[in-house]
Chain A
Amino acid sequence: MTKAAELIIGEVAGNHSMIELQNITKIYDNTTVALKDFNLTIDDGEFVFVVGASGSGKSTLLKLIMKEEEPTGGKIIINGTDITAMKSSEIPYLRRTMGIVFQDFRLIDKMTVYENVEFAMDIVGAGSKEKSKRVPYVLGLVGLSDKARRRPSELSGGEKQRVGMARALVNNPHMIIADEPTGNIDPSMSYEIVELLGEINKCGTTIVMVTHDIEIVKKFPFRIVEISDGRVKNDVGRRNKGV
């Protein structure tokens, strides 16, 4: 069985940890140590804030989870599959199990809101019937049904980020990885974005949100992992699935 197939089946097999990093070390260019002896387990269905100053290793953590970078040492297990041993041809299938939300939204302005979301389904080869059902559904979920025909440039920052979330959600991922999703948004709208992520989490999707916005983190009752100098400095509020 391929690693990609294992990823999909992992959940069915009832594996409870979604992301597991074991003794991870990441050194760039033989000199810069980004992570050392890093251990972190995120359970299926959890909502986790990852906080830390810039340069603490947050971005490296995301790159390792997405397999954009290889760890120098250690083991990463995603949904029961060891991805450190994964072939590069299987990376796309790994990424299909995670929806990614970016700080700078990464929307294509030549396309409408609807097309931006549809594009994500094109990439995984979804059929038109499937698309015409799923795209309006997720746009409704993020509250943008009435703006489906607009261009991203016509929207506010908060709305743009909701398009980004719709795109991340549309392929039904196991987890959502959000990289500073409120970083470019008016603070008054940030709360709403995280709340929406919370709603998605309630349906069982694991959420990992990297942020340095301590104010917003404090407003939610989710687990907080603080990274400092390439290690987990604090880890509070861990819960088990289904609590």
Chain B
Amino acid sequence: MKLVSIKYFLKEGFKNIWINGMMSIASILVMVCCMILTGSAVLMSVNVRSTLKTIEGKNSITVYLNKDVSHAQAAKIEEKIKAIPNVSHCEYYSREEAVKKYEEMLGSLFDILQGDENPFPNAFHVTMEDFSTYAYENTVDSLKAIDGVGSISDRSETAKKLTSLNSLLTSAGFWIVISLGAVSLFIISNTIKVSMYSRRFEISIMKSIGATNWFIRVPFIIEGVVIGLISAVISTGLLKLVYDEAMIIINKIVPFRGMPFEDVALPIFLGFTVVGVLLGAVGGVISISRYLKKEGGDVVAW
């Protein structure tokens, strides 16, 4: 393709977007909404997965004692825990400490939640030497067998919950992407159809002079691609704002170190760009091909 033609195509493509202002804005908005929803699903899934990894790498668990266990009884239980072969370290974590910690974290919000009674049981942080699945589960079983031990914050249970959350996110995300992708495609191809109708006079002249269908098509495809690109840029920016804000709120409730947006910004932006460009190009091809096959072929009887 000649350089002159490329210049012409770009100029015409951008002109289409400008002439077709409101429709272009509408399709950019729809695409941005689709991309932000998709991006949110991806970010949630990424965070869940990274949390899963941290949990699996953890060699310490929290052992909660029954509520009626006193500090003195707890000391005896500590001895028993330390006697288990795989336990390398055992640290007492009293209910008073737990209250203090949550008070610091939640501030006034905690007062409302707490009521009068301390809801926390006494607990131990237990660290293991070998935390491969077999040794880990054996140790958990031995801990459970000790009298006075209530529940154990077992990594496999948390992991199970997170895994099911992750698969829910993945399947929901899949359908979100599919349906919103279809909506975007529909909007984009309609936008391009409108801009084509507004230029049908020029198209008929071009056909009479001997423009190939590709020559007529390219500016409209560029229009779609540029709409896709603009949407990708806006979506990435907005998603960062939304994500950072959401992280602040989540961190107030649960102590949770989420993935910083910057770590995933590039793949997300590239993903948006590829999807935006593809949708734009496909939308352009669909609408212009249909048009050229039908009324766009008329030259004399325009």
Among A106, A123, A126, A128, residue most surrounded by chain B Cβ atoms (within 10 Å): A123
Contact with B along A87-127 (1 / 0, CB 8 A): 00100111110001010001010000000000110111111
Interchain CB contact under 8 A, B5 and A106: no
List CB contacts (< 8 Å) of B108-146 with chain A.
none
Closest B residue to A68 by beta carbon equals B299
Interchain CB contact under 8 A, A128 and B210: no
Bound: A7/B238 CA distance, A: 56
Interchain CB contact under 8 A, A108 and B205: yes
Pick the contact of B208 from A89, A100, A125 — CB < 8 Å?
A100
Residues of A near B5 (CB, < 8 A) are 122, 125
Q: Does A62 make an interface contact (CB < 8 A)?
A: yes
Q: Report A19 CB to chain B, min CB distance, Å.
A: 16
Q: Does A179 make an interface contact (CB < 8 A)?
A: yes
Q: List 19 A-B contacts (CB under 8 A).
A: A63-B300, A63-B301, A92-B207, A92-B211, A93-B210, A94-B210, A95-B208, A100-B208, A100-B209, A102-B208, A106-B204, A106-B205, A106-B208, A122-B8, A123-B209, A124-B209, A124-B211, A127-B2, A171-B210
Q: State whether A123 and B215 are in contact (beta carbons under 8 Å apart), knowing that A95-B209, A100-B299 are contacts in the complex.
A: yes
Q: Report B209 CB to chain A, min CB distance, Å.
A: 5
Closest A residue to B302 by beta carbon equals A106
List CB contacts (< 8 Å) of A160-213 with chain B.
167, 171, 179
Q: Report B219 CB to chain A, min CB distance, Å.
A: 11
Bound: A70/B105 CA distance, A: 80
Interchain CB contact under 8 A, A124 and B205: no
Residues of chain B at interface, number, CB under 8 A: 23
Interface of chain B, helix or strand or loop or mixed? helix
Pick the contact of A92 from B205, B210, B300 — CB < 8 Å?
B210
Counting chain A residues whose Cβ lies within 8 A of the other chain, the interface size class is 20 to 34
Q: Report A238 CB to chain B, min CB distance, Å.
A: 25
Residues of A near B202 (CB, < 8 A) are 108
Interchain CB contact under 8 A, A123 and B204: no
Bound: A108/B198 CA distance, A: 13
Interchain CB contact under 8 A, B4 and A127: yes
Interchain CB contact under 8 A, B209 and A62: no
Q: Does B201 make an interface contact (CB < 8 A)?
A: yes
Closest A residue to B206 by beta carbon equals A123
Q: State whether A92 and B212 are in contact (beta carbons under 8 Å apart), knowing that A108-B205, A125-B2, A127-B4 are contacts in the complex.
A: yes
Q: Does B147 make an interface contact (CB < 8 A)?
A: no
Bound: A100/B206 CA distance, A: 11
Bound: A74/B8 CA distance, A: 40
Bound: A119/B299 CA distance, A: 17
Residues of B near A62 (CB, < 8 A) are 300
Bound: A66/B209 CA distance, A: 10
Q: Does B297 make an interface contact (CB < 8 A)?
A: yes
Q: Does B298 make an interface contact (CB < 8 A)?
A: yes
Contact with A along B218-257 (1 / 0, CB 8 A): 0000000000000000000000000000000000000000
Among A100, A122, A127, residue most surrounded by chain B Cβ atoms (within 10 Å): A122
Bound: A64/B298 CA distance, A: 12
Interchain CB contact under 8 A, B209 and A96: yes
Bound: A120/B210 CA distance, A: 9
Residues of B near A179 (CB, < 8 A) are 300
Q: Does A59 make an interface contact (CB < 8 A)?
A: yes
Bound: A46/B154 CA distance, A: 96
Residues of B near A124 (CB, < 8 A) are 209-211
Residues of A near B205 (CB, < 8 A) are 106, 108, 119
